[in-house]
Chains A and B, each alone.
Chain A
Amino acid sequence: MFPKGTKRKFSDGEEVPDENPADIKVMSSYNLQRQSLLDMSLIKLQLCHMLVEPNLCRSVLIANTVRQIQEEMTQDGSWTIMAEALNSNQSPSDCLVATEILCRPSPKDQDEEKPFSVISYEGCDSVSCHSEEVVDDSLCEPSSEAPTYLPISIGTWEKEDQKENSEEESEEDSKPEEQVFGTFEIKNPTATPDPALDELFSDVDTSYYDLDTMLTGMQSSPKMGPYDLLDSLSSHSQSISSNSGCRPDLNELDHIMEIIVGS
């Protein structure tokens, strides 16, 4: 299952290229497991809304698990993948291949499979964009030394919006990482802005989402935040209003499940 509590070291540039495939394999298995755990948790949180009244204890425990995975992904996942991309002599296209091994099968057509793309990493740079630039206070512990981080969703589809988001920022812990991400982006200019994607998410506001209302299934005012991944799963199509985090359309959910299960 999961490796027992050992931190993976930041690999430095002297690594022999031969070792990389093996490393990638081990890591990808862990990443896949972690990813599937994250997806499972998010589905569970969303399904909470459909119950009589969601069990607060269960929701809190699942939310804490999601938070923990995201923390680790920001600290470990992005670093490791990024380090490889930086240190490898692979061309950008090779890098994309490596990405395929690491990530879930990326959608060919982003337009059709937006919800999926929201969940997955879209490439090395998407991981980098998983940047702490947008502070999501609801996910942060009060201690300011903890690196600020984000739900993957915002990371993946808001890479174009980074600049806007950073304006909304209050705290920045990410100076060293910014530099790294900066160079990384130059190296991997695969982030072609997708106008459709932009337009779709242009109205997303990364302010808080009312956890109370989400967990108690109440209809709330149009706000999105840390659990916007859940919303985006349910709201990417117009059949569901983004306000009704509480009652996602069952057809919608089926569709999403199909994608995740990969059928």
Chain B
Amino acid sequence: MLLVEDGLGICVVHLSPLSLSLSLSLSLSGAGGGGNDVQWCFSQVKGAIDDDVAEADIISTVEFNHSGELLATGDKGGRVVIFQQEPENKSQPQCRGEYNVYSTFQSHEPEFDYLKSLEIEEKINKIRWLPQKNAAQFLLSTNDKTIKLWKISERDKRPEGYNLKEEDGRYRDPTTVTTLRVPVFRPMDLMVEASPRRVFANAHTYHINSISVNSDYETYLSADDLRVNLWHLEITDRSFNIVDIKPANMEELTEVITAAEFHPNQCNTFVYSSSKGTIRLCDMRESALCDKHSKLFEEPEDPSNRSFFSEIISSISDVKFSHNGRYMMTRDYLSVKIWDLNMESRPVETYQVHEYLRSKLCSLYENDCIFDKFECCWNGNDNVVMTGSYNNFFRMFDRGQKKDVTLEASRESSKPRAVLKPRKVSAGGKRKKDEISVDSLDFNKKILHTAWHPQENIIAVATTNNLYIFQDKLN
């Protein structure tokens, strides 16, 4: 038994040789989650109501900023939409502010690679916010090939009373000026402007799948299928290659990089995951090229579950460090795993997301669903994790209470403050009332992207083209 103190509180850690699981007791201060049973309520839904989804409207990434006040989404059409939370109403302390559109801009345009005769999609693969340093907000958005740094700033005043210009901007004839006055700033309707401040291009041969801002707030990494590059936020004409897994002979290629992330507080540490289900932790202080990992996290395969699809379902689609930096979470096709950074041999916790799909892998391979890349996220105090599934279901796993719940993002349960009813999928023959059988799941309705507010129990869940915002029920 250990007593461990970190920035969030004191925990009692039990190490059991049999289960090799860590259980944290004593819930941590502040941020939501944990403790009593949380009831999730519908708050808002954004996006078109039609069933006919325009391709460009498909949401491809969702991300809260560091304070949680702003929520950004990227879509397949290359647009970024930022929502801002309304300040809490003093008279109604029970209701958290709603998220309304703050800014919309076209981040990336479709391009054509003339050398390869191939189109470069404008789809936004990832958005990452920079921590706020001044009045403006900054975010990085990336498509398959190019990363852009956007500045989002507000303008709510404008100067009035120029001597040489009319109000509409036309220049006045200087001879008509008889008096001088000092221009003053007058309030105007809030205008939110987004401008591209940096464009980081031409550094990736393969498709970028991840970007991650370093805790030094000066550098960031971008990862494609075979390489990871390190950039300085101020420098766009060069980047350092820190991981390269491209084999000399491309025919020997059997593994690709699927995700990468910097450690939340150690600026020299990052991890990258692979299509073979391994995660490598690298220390940039060791060498310039981090091909040799410091740690390799891999769980031995379960021989009883072996099939032709074993490798495909072990491919990791997302990796996220916990906020406290002690754990990391990985998502593969059927499960979510929590790893202790000090133990490489196996995860400390494994949660089955949709085990009932294991017997359907052949059909899922046929319709390509087996290649769907689900993301996962932590709540603010790292004791609940969330990920998406099919049929517009999403799952939450409470690590402390060892409970899990399946909820659905649908228009049917979209009445204001309506409590979401837990859902259940029946795998076997007997289907209870209110359960859904595996065969009636809609595999076109997938929730790949979810995000959790850094402090509150507010979650953003993206279905194909709609963004749902849910909150916990406040008493």
Contacts and interface: CB of A to CB of B under 8 A. Distances in A.
Interface of A: 1-2, 4-5, 33-34, 37, 40, 44, 52-53, 55-58, 60-61, 63-65, 67-69, 137-138, 142, 208-212, 215-218, 225-226
Contacts of A44: 368
A236 B305 CA distance: 39
Given A1-B307, A2-B308, A56-B207, A61 B116 contact: no
Contacts of B144: 53
B254 interface: yes
A69 B309 CA distance: 11
B118 A61 contact: no
Given A1-B362, A61-B275, A226-B251, 17 more contacts: A4-B305, A5-B305, A5-B307, A33-B362, A34-B308, A37-B362, A44-B368, A53-B120, A56-B206, A56-B226, A57-B258, A57-B371, A65-B308, A210-B250, A211-B250, A215-B250, A225-B251
Contact of B366 (A40, A58, A138, A216): A40
Most buried by A among B251, B304, B311, B361: B251
B373 to A, nearest CB: 8
Contacts of A225: 251
25 contacts: A1-B307, A1-B359, A4-B305, A4-B307, A5-B305, A33-B362, A37-B362, A40-B365, A40-B366, A53-B119, A53-B144, A57-B225, A57-B275, A57-B315, A58-B368, A60-B254, A64-B254, A67-B254, A138-B249, A210-B250, A211-B250, A212-B250, A217-B116, A217-B118, A226-B251
B312 interface: yes
- Pick the 5 closest A-B CB pairs, nearest first: A138-B251, A212-B250, A5-B306, A211-B251, A56-B225
B121 to A, nearest CB: 6
B169 interface: no
Contacts of B258: 57
Contacts of A58: 368, 371
B412 interface: no
A61 B304 contact: no
Interface residues of B, number: 38
Contacts of A217: 116-118
A68 B311 contact: yes
A218 B256 contact: no
A218 B118 CA distance: 9
B457 to A, nearest CB: 34
Interface string B205-230: 01100000000000000000110000
B308 A5 contact: no
A215 B121 CA distance: 17
A64 B251 contact: no
Given A57-B256, A218-B116, A208 B251 contact: yes
Nearest to A3: B307
A56 B251 contact: no
Contacts of B254: 60, 63-64, 67
